[in-house]
Chains A and B, each alone.
Chain A
Amino acid sequence: MSSDGENEDLMFEDEYDDAFDQDEDMEDVDSTSEPDVYDALSPAIEEAPQKKPYDISWKVRTLQEIIDMQNKEIKKIQSLLEVPASTAAILLRHYVWNSEKLQEQFWNDPTAALQGAGLSPPSSPSTRTQTLPSSPEKRPNRLPRTTVASPSIRTRSRLPTEPFECPICCTDFDKTLVEGSTFAMGCGHRFCRDCWGEYLSGKVKGEGESAKIQCMESGCQRVVREEVIDEIVSSDISKRYHNLLNAAFVADSSNLRWCPHPNCEYIIECNQAPARMLNQLVPTVECKCGHELCFGCGYGASHRPVLCRIVKMWEKKCADDSETANWLQANTKECTKCQSTIEKNGGCNHMTCKKCKWEFCWVCMGPWSEHGTNWYQCNRFDERSGIDARDTQAKSRASLERYLHYFNRWANHEHSAKLDAEFYRKTEKKMEQMQNSGNLSWIEVQFAKAAVDAVIKARITLKWSYCMAFYLKRNNMTELFEDNQRDLERAVESLGYLLEQNIVDTDSIAKLRQDITNQAAYVQKRHDILMDDTLKGYLERRWEFSVDI
């Protein structure tokens, strides 16, 4: 309903950024410099086989471990500040689980710290509250025991010895019922339990609030404690309330992230990929559910080797309606020689203008003669020779073409990767065929599946490499990048071609098997080279982008 939450989110980020500003260099970001508070709880660290400088370690947590983490922090604060557990919890939530900051501010000014968190006696604008409990420092938070009415000051009815009318539902309570049927927090604003229940259920169920549910009194900022909510609301609402608290804890912790995959309830913990490192790290992690995700941005798959921010820009650009309109516009092009408008409605990229017979490449618009057999020259959008082509075309169209060049290749690999199920199915059929006609054992035909794995993995990397290339500035480094990209692209296409081959006879199977195995190994090698070089390049600050990252 309000923008409060948003503001607080911003504030949280700032605080975390500040916390991370202490260590500036990449070398500092390892498990020793960023102490792992929850180490005692960590069962094992999932580590890559050989650790590369750009690899990160992470842990997959269960919900119970997340709860334990909170309880551990709460216990710590509870004993350090000598406050009840629920007070410690409210304080920690208010200070976004930054216990150092909480302690500092608490010892500096306990009243202000408690007041800020919605714990101290209120300064309610309501005229009903007259007196406030004295010296909140000494006993800042006497816990109102939920079964018994709060021992602190009352508002309208001085004590449960007087009859009481709930100011919300106007129900009268006999003095004997006041204690059992009404409730007031430390702020003294008393209401009947039914109204409390209605209100709290509405907050939890309707508005999804958890950590910051306040007193019902107008303007009173007293935060309702966990045990009060648990005591008053039904068990399913209470369950939802605790789920919301846990979700808020994960959202507030920069080292935690929910696995984004449907029905997966694991949480990833990673201390090595704070927001400020995301301009040089692509923290791809794997959840216990078997899926990969990006810890940096929550993308539900690996987007390596591209930085989170670039991915976001790219996705926005591709989703943008204006780009879609541009794309439609770009389905027609002018012949670079005679300016006739041509619509490509199928066939290959070797275009021959019907009017002037000029032969050119549909993708780069360069003369076809330059392509010849060297088709892969076209993976590179050569801006210098593009300038010549642009002389005959509108300027906007040129930048559009540049975008489309990368977008089409990106989309092409995206599309191919999406067909992976079909690819596996076809390959499996072939594997069966090889087992039957080639007398190969099951284990001997697994090479084909491994090859498909390699193709799909490489296609996803290639897909992202085109997004990367779109944002790279033209320089020597970019050329090297595109060389690696081209090599991988070639290797993948040849492997794809081999996998499409029909099995003719038993003799050919042996050769095909050899070829596919070799080519798959080559694809894997080219893939690793591209990935390794690109990710290392971030750390060595080799990549220059045309946009700010």
Chain B
Amino acid sequence: MAAGLSTKRLMKELSDINTKGTPPGISLHSADSMQDWIFLISVLGEETVYRGETFALRMKFGNRYPIEVPEVTFLANPEYQPPVHPHVYSNGHICASILGNEWSPVLNAVAICITMQSMLASNKKKERPEGNDRYVRTAPSNPKLTRWHYDDDVSLIETETLFEVEVEQ
């Protein structure tokens, strides 16, 4: 199983997306390889602070997926910018418990998209996390190497090799 685990599962997820489609506001932008997918996410409705914006969510799947959580970031390039949100750093890193200690192997790529979409939908104020600049300056390229904390209502980053980040949930 070990090597084939992620492939078979991702094939299944892909075929589900192709046959059943994705929820409104979410679409698969590219799945060029089995390990690297990009979804486009927009928040629907008039109420949202992100009206008219579209964000690109990138997922990189390791071969232990779905036992292990994929690496999930918002794209930050000339075409797409990460949403301005208190849990999203300007380099696209996301602090969300579902991508950390609350990850479960029964969750899937679309479930992550839905969580991200609702995280954006519930936001009322466009602002970056506290300490954004400091984090972005020194963050590891893989957000999974950042040690996120989800228990506090203050965003806080410790400057260590591993970053300790506390963000309200």
Contact = CB atoms under 8 A, between A and B. Distances in A.
A, B co-complexed: yes
Interface of A: 1-4, 7, 126, 167-171, 189, 191, 194-195, 198-199, 202, 216-220
A352 B124 CA distance: 72
A4 B64 CA distance: 24
A7 B68 CA distance: 24
Contacts of A195: 1, 5, 67, 105
Contact of B64 (A3, A7, A126, A198): A198
Per CB-CB distance, the 9 closest pairs between chain A and chain B, nearest first, are A218-B104, A2-B101, A170-B12, A194-B1, A1-B101, A168-B105, A3-B151, A198-B67, A3-B149
B147 A126 contact: no
Interface residues of B, number: 26
Contacts of A218: 102, 104, 106-107
A170 B67 contact: no
B105 A216 contact: yes
Interface string B57-79: 00000001011100000000000
Contacts of A168: 5, 9, 66-67, 105-106
A217 B9 contact: no
B125 interface: no
Interface of B: 1-2, 4-5, 8-9, 11-12, 64, 66-68, 97, 100-102, 104-107, 147-151, 166
A344 to B, nearest CB: 37
Contacts of A167: 106
B106 A198 contact: no
Given A3-B149, A169-B1, A199 B8 contact: no
B1 A4 contact: no
A227 to B, nearest CB: 21
Contacts of A199: 67, 105
Given A195-B5, A216-B105, 8 more contacts: A1-B101, A2-B97, A170-B9, A189-B106, A195-B1, A198-B67, A199-B67, A202-B67
A189 B106 CA distance: 10
A289 to B, nearest CB: 33
Given A168-B105, A199-B67, A2 B9 contact: no
A171 B9 CA distance: 8
B135 to A, nearest CB: 18
B72 to A, nearest CB: 15
A254 B137 CA distance: 42
A216 B2 CA distance: 17
Nearest to B98: A218
Contacts of B151: 2-4, 7
**Most chain A beta carbons < 10 A, residue from B67, B100, B150, B151:** B67
**Most chain B beta carbons < 10 A, residue from A4, A168, A220:** A168
B149 A169 contact: no
A194 B101 CA distance: 22
Contacts of A171: 1, 8
Contacts of B104: 216-220
B11 to A, nearest CB: 8
Contacts of A219: 102, 104
B106 A170 contact: no
A169 B5 contact: yes
A376 B120 CA distance: 71
A71 B88 CA distance: 48
A195 B124 CA distance: 40
